[in-house]
Amino acid sequence: MAIINCPSCNQKTSDKAKVCANCQYDFVSKSTSEGFTKEQLTSKKHLAHIKKKYSLQMQAMTGIILVLLGASLWYFGGRGFATVSDMLKLGLLAIGAAWYLVTRVRLIMFKKGN
Ligand SMILES: [Zn+2]
């Protein structure tokens, strides 16, 4: 919870409040229906969509990096299956692969939903 200044009376009030405790200024209707035009709301939604897609793509990239990191650490680290270190490297690879797959599915679902 944050403290903001009321745009109407400039008194300190909670940002979670629907109306100003001091002057009854209506934050909810002012910020949603009056504060923005329909075009602005649509572009905000569009922007959120792009951001979400970008975030998912970044997560997919992180998965690929983990796979490459785990694979190269294992490959150049002796290619064994016996030590804890080998298991950790292969684990990193597996986590990266799982992460990538989950993110790919989320991206597909996201694209279908829009
Ligand atoms: Zn106020």
User: pLDDT tens digit string along 79-112?
Assistant: 999 999 999 999 999 999 999 999 999 999 998 8
Q: Closest Cα to residue 8, out of 30, 23, 19, 28?
A: 23
Distance 100 CA to ligand 1 centre (A): 49
Neighbouring CB atoms inside 10 A of 93's CB total: 20
> Where are the domains positioned within the chain?
1-35, 38-114
Average pLDDT score, the chain: 87
For residue 74, which of 89, 59, 85 has the smallest C-alpha distance?
A: 89
CA of 45 to the centre of ligand 1 (A): 29
Cα(81) to ligand 1 centroid in Å equals 67
Q: For tokens 């405790």, what's the residue?
A: 21
- How many A from CA of 10 to the centre of ligand 1? 6
pLDDT for the residue 114: 64
Say how many Å lie between the CA of residue 26 and the centre of ligand 1: 9
CA dist 27 and 86 (Å) reads 57
Q: Are 52 and 109 in contact (CB under 8 A)?
A: no
Would you say residue 41 has pLDDT above 80?
Answer: no
Distance 109 CA to ligand 1 centre (A): 43
Q: Is 92 helix (H, G, I), strand (E, B) or coil?
A: helix
Helix (H, G, I), strand (E, B) or coil at 83: coil
pLDDT at 43 over 90: no
Q: State in Å: Cα 27 to ligand 1 middle.
A: 9
Cβ 85 vs Cβ 45: under 8 Å: no
Separation of CA 34 and ligand 1 centre (Å): 17
Q: From CA 86, how far away is CA 76, in angstroms rounded? A: 11
Q: Is the entire prediction scored with pTM above 0.75?
A: no
